[in-house]
Amino acid sequence: MKVIISGGGTGGHIYPAIAIANALKEINPAVEVLFVGAEGKMEMEKVPKAGYPIIGLPIAGINRSNMLANLGFPLKLISSLLRARKIVKDFQPDVAVGVGGYASGPLLLSASFANVPILIQEQNSYAGITNKFLAKNAKKICVAYPKMEQFFPASKIQMTGNPVRKDILNVAAKRQQAFEHFGLQPDKPTVLVIGGSQGAKTINESIDGGLTSLVNEGCQVVWQTGKLYIERAKTAAEVFKGKVYVSDFIYEMDLAYAMADIVVSRAGALSVSELCLAGKPSILVPLPTAAEDHQTKNAMSLVENNAAILVKDVQAREELVKVALDLLHDKEKQSTLIDNILKLGKPNAAIEIAQQVLSLVK
């Protein structure tokens, strides 16, 4: 049995894809999985690290801020379609899975033309342009939010949730290990700051500006900055040795969640799904430039259930640290957020999606 999984561009697409592949292998170890991504994007590094082969396409996304940068897009698209057609012909998949991102477009189109059944996994509450375009070719569409009938045919929709890493479940048991790993104190309230795999300029600048206030209030901070801000963050944290842990990327996210009393995060689909499973009081700062403002829509799905707090990006520099301190001091509010966010988690999403994938095999 052979499955192609395509998509990528950000961690929000890649990690669910790997989780689906792992679930397929868990159900049937004989399944052969091939990934198809975009050349030069992070999936070309992350997927092989997870133990799977990947082929890159020369496809690139449309640059909405500089239309002249799109002059080469038609050539890249044609080249990607031709290469995707050859990949499908050579690999002979029984089913193709798209997880969003522009890399999945050429591959799933080519698979569809070859009469290979297609499954789409849409992570966000607002469907991406590639998935909306591919929906008519898909047999099934797995979603994580209600009301997705506005984007997809209702008959194809399967409500599964987003697949996330298994190690995020039951993180409380790892609390002591987490403090030892990050070199922090187990008796101090801890703020975990994550800006997504690419980092987050506004969140970073807000934390940088409020680091002294957080430490003076008796807090400690685990701060994932992304590559662009790491040097500035290291300089800012230098005077707070043993109280602030800084890294451009945290691979041990299960340990980071284990020690966090509250979390400050962007509102990408993967981040929101992880927070629901980890059950952490969260302050979400949606990325305002995300396509169709989908991060705000993701965040509101929690806020409307009293399961998270929203701080707008434009207000973060003035408000974020104050809101974080208020939440740290309000144990009753923390408890309410934990109770409500846990109700929204879908711990078996990866297995459910894998079962849907296998159900399409002829």
Give which of 270, 295, 284, 273 is closest to 344, Cα–Cα.
273
What are the DSSP E strand ranges found in the chain? 2-6, 32-38, 54-57, 95-98, 118-122, 140-143, 157-159, 190-194, 220-224, 244-247, 262-265, 282-284, 309-310
Please say if the pLDDT value at position 106 is more than 80. Answer: yes
So what's the pLDDT on residue 210?
97
**Cα(295)–Cα(145) distance, integer angstroms:** 13
Q: What is the mean pLDDT of residues 334-338?
A: 98
pLDDT digits (tens, 9 = 90+) for 78-99: 999 999 999 999 999 999 999 9
Residue numbers belonging to the annotated binding site: 10-12, 124, 165, 197, 250, 269-274, 295
pLDDT tier at 205 (50, 70, 90 boundaries)? very high
Show the tokens assigned to 228.
């662009």
- The per-residue pLDDT for 319 is 97
Instruction: Please give the DSSP secondary-structure letter assigned to residue 10.
Output: S
Per-residue pLDDT band for 323 (boundaries 50, 70, 90) equals very high
pLDDT category of residue 65 using cuts at 50, 70 and 90: low
Look at residues 129, 251, 258 and name the one whose alpha carbon lies nearest to residue 184.
Answer: 258
What pTM does this model have?
A: 0.83
Please report, in range form, the residues annotated as the binding site for UDP-N-acetyl-alpha-D-glucosamine: 10-12, 124, 165, 197, 250, 269-274, 295
Helix 201-216 with 230-237: angle, nearest 10 deg: 10
Predicted local confidence at residue 63, as pLDDT: 64
* CATH architecture for segment(s) 2-162+347-359: 3-Layer(aba) Sandwich (3.40)
Domain coordinates of the chain in residue numbers?
Answer: 2-162+347-359, 167-342
Share of the chain above pLDDT 90, in %: 75
Contact (CB, 8 A) for 46 and 7: no
Q: Which CATH architecture has domain 167-342?
A: 3-Layer(aba) Sandwich (3.40)
Judge whether 2-162+347-359 and 167-342 match in fold.
yes
The per-residue DSSP string of 304-352 comes to TTTS-EE--GGGHHHHHHHHHHHHHH-HHHHHHHHHHHHTT--TTHHHH
